[in-house]
Amino acid sequence: MEVGEPQKMLYPQDTTETEGAEVLAAVFSPLVRYDENKQPVEEAAESITTTDSKVWTIKLKSSYTWHDGTPVKAEDYVRAWNFAALQDNAMSSSYFFGRVDGYNDVHPGEGKTPTAKEMKGLKVVDDTTLEVTLTAPFSQFKTMLGYTAFYPLPASAIGSDGKLSPTFGEKPIGQGLFKVDKPYKKGTDQTIEMSVYDKFPGKKPTGWTKLQFKVYTSSETAWNDLQAENLDIHDSLPATAISTAKQVLGDRYFDEPDASIGYIGVPLKYNKEFENVDVRKAISMAIDRKTISDTVFSGTRSPADDFINPAIPGYRQGACTACTYNPAEAKKLYESAGGPKTIELGYNADGGHKEWIEAVANNLRANLGIEVTPKPFEKFQGILDALDAKEYKGLFRMGWSIDYPAAENYLTPIFGTGAIGTGSNYGGYSNKEFDDLVAKGDQATDAAEGLKFYQQADDILLKELPYIPVYFYRSNFGHSTKVKNVKLNLLNQINWADVEKG
């Protein structure tokens, strides 16, 4: 299967991007998966219960073992989650544990020293039971538990120095369907080799046992390999392939709804040229989303008009008034706001984004009368590293694939203040009113009531445009004649157990 190079070594708690998560999803089994109604159903968990949405009891299935044959225990989850949360470890998924009681003790924030190394809200009850106490009720907590950050870690993952072992990062030991056959040398190896773990207690594929991820720096090259049958699965076809993919692949091509969003990201905290909201609104109004969706993506995208995707409850059609194409008003607003005369537009070249980024650049040049320079980064890792380091000053291509199916997942991880330091808030956006409204949504005991607060938080984003939504994705993927029954789950990952030989 095609995959872009993971940003980091294969550590679950330090992987918040899609490429590494795709690989790790084959190696680990989540506590929950999601059914066709986007509801969480137990996977590695036997049950997940609560009476007040604040104290949660998670019972594990006793049949799961690590790939070295030892049983998976509750302490393996507590170890992983405490490690992820501790500020000193600088894990990118740290903010996912911000609702656990004691998080502020282990992660007090920039410039402050942790007063504890473990969260008091995590408790091992027995070998197969852990108890999680949150600081406040959060009805969506079970829904979160299918995400990469909540995978367990074996004791061997952490070395005697208290840090994650490089050996583990190259060849992680999981408790999922596939075990890694040999260490993966990131930056050098072009493949990641795996085979079915024979003691995996869940469903296994029939007729095949070996899985190989092929690392590409060009989505177009992967498309060529798929056509030549040198690649079996490509789950993110480039824009240049979409118009002919159906003709080339026939019923091996798929165009399906997707809960992801494509944005133009704004380095709000790191470049004062974009500080004035009118500058951001003008840029948004200068983008011809419909033409980009219809022409560049051959109709397989739709113009974004909210920060919440239509696939998830909470979306409101037409909510983003600044997403309406209005070049005349855009130029007037941009000039009155004193927007920058030159803009750089960064994107990763390994993801098939060149065409739509150049279309946006053309829109901005023509409609705002400014100089716009697209800047390709060879790999997704390159632009993520630059954003993590808070050193990239240009606008940037960004996308969001959901971690779990909830409106809140379009808010907290991307725009929450707590996600600036180690999370996915690459623009550095911070707004206390927004944070407070999300917190109120979290603490609502009724889902409908919670959604009202999330939409109020969404209203702030629509007003302030910390990012500029451009399109809602669809999944465009295909496979060779050598395999069949290829399906994507809600997180855009392959259901490997269902794949059959062609």
Domains of the chain: 11-16+30-170 (3.90.76.10), 180-256+475-501 (3.40.190.10), 258-474 (3.10.105.10)
Give the three-state DSSP class for 191: strand
Quote the pLDDT of residue 128.
98
Taking the C-alpha atoms of residue 417 and residue 425, their distance in angstroms, rounded to an integer, is: 8
Secondary structure of residue 122 in the 3-state scheme: strand
How confident is the model at residue 78, as a pLDDT? 98
- Distance between CA atoms of 220 and 212, rounded to whole angstroms? 19
Assess contact for 44 and 64: CB atoms under 8 A: yes
How high is the pLDDT of residue 26? 98
pLDDT at 476 (0 to 100): 92
Q: Which long-range contacts (CB under 8 A, 24 or more apart) does 168-172 make?
A: 168/11, 169/8, 169/9, 169/10, 169/11, 170/9, 170/10, 171/10, 172/10, 172/11, 172/12, 172/24, 172/27, 172/28
Q: Which residues pair with 399 in a beta bridge?
A: 262
The candidate with the shortest Cα–Cα distance to 2, out of 232, 307, 286, 168, is 232
CA angle, corner 355, sides to 284 and 250, nearest 5?
Answer: 120
Burial of 90 per CB tally in 10 Å (0-12, 13-18, 19+): exposed
Query: Residue 241, CB half-sphere, CA atoms under 13 Å: how many?
Result: 27
pLDDT in single tens digits along all 502 residues of the chain: 999 999 999 999 999 999 999 999 999 999 999 998 889 999 999 999 999 999 999 999 999 999 999 999 999 999 999 999 999 999 999 999 999 999 999 999 888 999 999 999 999 999 999 999 999 989 889 999 999 999 999 999 999 999 999 999 999 999 999 999 999 999 999 999 999 999 999 999 999 999 999 999 899 999 999 999 999 999 989 988 988 999 999 999 999 889 999 999 999 999 999 999 999 999 999 999 999 999 999 898 999 999 999 999 999 999 999 999 999 999 999 999 999 999 999 999 887 899 999 999 999 999 999 999 999 998 888 898 899 888 899 999 999 989 999 999 999 999 999 888 877 899 999 999 999 999 999 988 778 899 999 999 999 999 999 999 999 998 999 999 999 999 999 888 999 999 999 8
Q: At 322, is the secondary structure helix, strand, or coil?
A: helix
List, in sequence order, the alpha helices (H) in 55-210: 74-85, 103-106, 141-144, 166-170
SS3 content of the chain, % helix, strand, coil (to 5): 35, 20, 45
Residue 446: what pLDDT? 79
pLDDT at site 495? 95
Q: How many CB atoms lie within 10 A of CB 276?
A: 16
The amino acid at 140: Q
Report the run of H or E that residue 368 belongs to, with start and end: helix 354-368
